[in-house]
A = this chain, B = another copy of it.
Amino acid sequence: MIKVGIVGATGYTGVELLRLLSPRDDVEVAVITSRELQGRAVSERFPNLRGHLDLCFSGPDDPALQSCDAVFYATPHGVAMHSVARLIDAGVRVIDLSADFRIKDRALWESWYKTDHASPELINEAVYGLPEVNREAIKEARLIAVPGCYPTAVQLGFLPLLENDLVETNRLIADAKSGVSGAGRKAVEDYLLCEATESIKAYGLAGHRHHPEISQGLNLAANSPVQLTFVPHLTPMVRGILATLYAPVKTGTSVTAEVLQSIFEARYANEPFVDVLPQGDSPATRSVKGSNKCAISVTYSSETETVVVLAAEDNLVKGASGQAVQNLNIMFGIDELAGLQGIALLP
């Protein structure tokens, strides 16, 4: 039995961790902390958990965290970096869903998150928790930085192209559409139903924090610096990210849809949570809603010699809590699929 704790489980990634973990026989959710809800039953906050999880929130410094095997941070950015070191010293393995340890370049991180990093010594040790790239390193990691929601979809979509040196890397484009839950459960006017429903808009054109995280991963895959235009869009739905990716084929290279298809299928043949769709299909976010899958399709526009990749995921599952659990499974040598085989809710 793996004893886990969750720090800051009052938002959407928190309730999603609980939905995935509380039915398991091999994992015990032993402690959940929340500064504001200390002493209250978890099911008061999340009525879907009534009858499934009988636990109260404790304070953020609950010593019970120290006796967990693993602790998830489902906190906003800038929180985990202050207390993670103590847990690691106590032998607890940490899975951080926030951005605190995602970016290796400390100065870059500090410029985007506009604060000093509180645990710079852990940045290098932290393993970027994208199993499709770092599975071996995850096994032994003491600290996991779970990838962001956009970075997961965008990287999984571009990886086969970059690793196989098929595309020009100076003008990659990621046009990404996210449901509103990506913004979390903050009471902010922009995310009110009356503001966000029945409308679509781009945002973050001046720069989005996921941009440097994506670039870091693409640079590694390409083994050289790539240039990326990243345009996220707020889409009128709760869950789901669809990344539409455009990459110009390398000059002099000739590709076909069939070749691309086999490259993608080969790349992800052994990946339990990446589903390469048959040629001609294209993924809808609803087909992966609530599941840990990333569904990918690849097509080729010969008119423009451009590869178009579509990658769909549930931003709260493969884009956050599901991927965190996938990391947990890998770290503890459990079947990677454990607790993650739920089928998408359709319709």
By a beta-carbon cutoff of 8 Å, the part of chain A in contact with chain B is: 12, 15, 18-19, 22-23, 46-52, 170-173, 175, 177, 179-181, 185, 187-189, 191-203, 205-206, 227-229, 231, 233, 235-240, 242, 244, 246, 248, 275, 280-291, 293, 295, 299, 301, 303-306, 308, 310, 312, 341-347
Contact = CB atoms under 8 A, between A and B. Distances in A.
A305 B168 CA distance: 14
Contacts of A175: 175, 244, 246
A282 B188 contact: no
B236 A236 contact: yes
Contacts of A187: 187-189, 192
Nearest to A15: B346
24 contacts: A23-B343, A46-B346, A47-B281, A47-B283, A47-B284, A50-B287, A171-B171, A171-B248, A171-B305, A177-B177, A180-B192, A192-B192, A193-B195, A193-B197, A198-B239, A198-B289, A200-B237, A200-B240, A200-B284, A202-B242, A202-B310, A229-B304, A233-B242, A236-B236
Contacts of A345: 19, 48, 289-290, 345
Contacts of A306: 171, 173, 229
A23 B170 CA distance: 45
A335 B329 CA distance: 28
Contacts of A248: 171
A176 B239 CA distance: 20
Contact of A191 (B194, B199, B238): B194
Given A173-B173, A303-B229, A285 B237 contact: no
Nearest to A282: B202
A285 B51 contact: no
Number of copies: 4
Contacts of A343: 18-19, 22-23, 48-49, 52
Contact of A180 (B51, B193, B282, B283): B193
A181 B200 contact: no
Contacts of A50: 275, 287, 295
Contacts of A196: 193
A205 B275 contact: no
A198 B236 CA distance: 7
Given A50-B275, A229-B303, 18 more contacts: A18-B343, A23-B343, A47-B346, A48-B288, A48-B346, A170-B304, A171-B248, A197-B238, A198-B198, A198-B238, A199-B285, A199-B286, A200-B240, A200-B242, A201-B312, A202-B310, A206-B280, A227-B303
Nearest to A288: B48
Q: Which 8 A-B pairs have the closest CB atoms?
A: A199-B286, A201-B284, A48-B344, A194-B347, A47-B287, A48-B346, A175-B175, A193-B193
